[in-house]
Amino acid sequence: MGRVRSAAKNITFGYIGQFATALVSFVLRKIFILYLADNLLGINSTYTNVLSILSMAELGIGTALNFALYAPVARGDIEKVKSYMQMYRKAYLAIGGVVAVIGTCLAPFLRYLVKNPGVSVRELELYYFIFLFNTVSTYFVAYKYSLCNAEQRNYIQTNINTITKLVVSGLQIVMLILTKNFVLYLLTDAVVQLVQKIFVSRYLDRRYPYLKEKNVQPLSKEETGEIWRKTRALVLHKVGDVARLQTDALIISAFIEVSVAGLVDNYMLVMNTVTNFVGIIFNSLISGFGNLIATESKERQYSMFSVYRFFASWIYGFAVTGFFVLLTPLIRLFFGDRWVLPQGALILILIDLYFKGDRIVLSNFKTAAGVFEEDKYLAIIQGIVNLILSIALVQKIGLAGIYVGTVVSGLIANVTKPVIIYRVCFEKSALPYFIDTAKYALVTAAAIGVNLLISRSVIANLNIGTFLLMAVIITVIFNGVFLLLFRKTEAFEYLEGLVRRKLKK
């Protein structure tokens, strides 16, 4: 039950933090749109993606080392933890240097990545170097969080990030209202983030004083070899994931217009706010799965995976149903009609989001189990497919073409990863997984269709009241259908029992 208590604590603090940061993020975005030009929102989105691509220099070593920490932390082997953390520190300091060098070399080419920026090249470069500083400085402290997470204390990182986000957003709102200056907006974030990193470094040094000890035994050749073997496999995953997940905004900025990247970013803000609430649950369970896999039988692992997967299908199905019906009306209410996306592009984005729920389950369990090599070429294939389709189709059908590539490349993983995980982790056929996928998808599609029909009457006259009424209707219909159809399954009964035990306490 220790895993359950740790996960519950991580989830509770995660929800508190997410609710607070979501609220302030929406207010900040509204102020941004009111006081700054549309193109600056697009630049902000594009640079965020550029730096995500640069973060590829991490190449998966963090994931490999996180996996390596689960066993010694579970055993209480401090000396081995010190050895792994020393390697982690050296690797991340080197990575920070590499990102700084590559990022600086990229600066002269920014003008080719941003179409119709509305600002001078010098301004583009100034904005970019502020973003680069924030990214590079992260590597000098981020590795220390891995020990908290291996102990299933993800809430430590969550709470620190929540406080930082609230402070940054509050100061940025004041800065925008008083100055309407994008540079000061960015510098406010950079300064507060730097103070936070200094605090975190000192706080974690005090929490884990043995990290500063000098008498650290180096890892054996077998242990370092295992880490580098997993890292080599993760390099391919990392490159492929970047090509698939971090390039859409760049393609929009380069082939359509940078302001359109800002338009898409408003939708992503809403979607990410909701899915981050969901992600808190799943991310909080990764370290628990690492412990589960290190200590429990394959039958127990499979049982918990099935529960985890059922829950993800329910939650992501519910979220996507709500987005299909209410996302564009919400954008119209909060930001205005000129920020609405074409319907075709939105449908593709939401299809990808639904199947992303399954991919998150598969990827998280695979990461916790240390299964990195068996599908090491898969992400590369996905990335290539995404880039080819997106670049080819954006020039023919516009924005929707980019997301055709995103959907098709994502589905490759939905088909192949279950086969690998069921074979390697459970020694079972993946056929039951695909049967369940079909059932969950059909139920979700039917719920979307019914709610769309109802919404034509309910929100024909759009206002906050009709919007909230439709949200209630979606909640009742979707969850009622899922409850009715799946209440007799083992996964549902496990979740029901878990909730009942928590309520009794």
Instruction: Copy the structure tokens of residue 57.
Output: 């220099």
Q: Whole-angstrom Cα distance, residue 407 to residue 416?
A: 15
Q: How far, in Å, are 40, 42, 116, 126, 420 from residue 120 at the CA level?
A: 12, 15, 10, 10, 50
* Contact present, 28 and 286 (Cβ < 8 Å): no
What's the predicted TM-score (pTM) here? 0.76
The DSSP-derived string for 348-369 is HHHHHHHHHHHHHHHHHHHHHH
Predicted pLDDT at 345: 93
- Containing H/E element for 155? helix 154-179
Among candidates 349, 318, 300, 335, which has minimal Cα distance to 490?
Answer: 300
What's the chain's Rg over C-alpha atoms? 23
Among candidates 283, 242, 35, which has minimal Cα distance to 145?
Answer: 283
* Contact present, 246 and 49 (Cβ < 8 Å): yes
Name the DSSP class of 373: S
Low-confidence ranges of the chain (pLDDT < 70): 1-11, 56-66, 230, 232-238, 240-241, 280-296, 370, 372-373, 502-503, 505
Q: How far, in Å, are 323, 350, 376 from residue 357 at the CA level?
A: 14, 11, 21
Predicted pLDDT at 148: 76
End-to-end CA distance of the chain: 13
* Contact present, 14 and 284 (Cβ < 8 Å): yes
Domain boundaries along the sequence of the chain: 2-295+341-427
Q: Whole-angstrom Cα distance, residue 330 to residue 267?
A: 9
Q: What is the pLDDT of residues 62-98, one digit of tens each?
A: 666 667 777 787 788 888 888 888 888 888 888 888 8
Helices 399-421 and 343-369, interaxial angle, to 10°?
A: 30
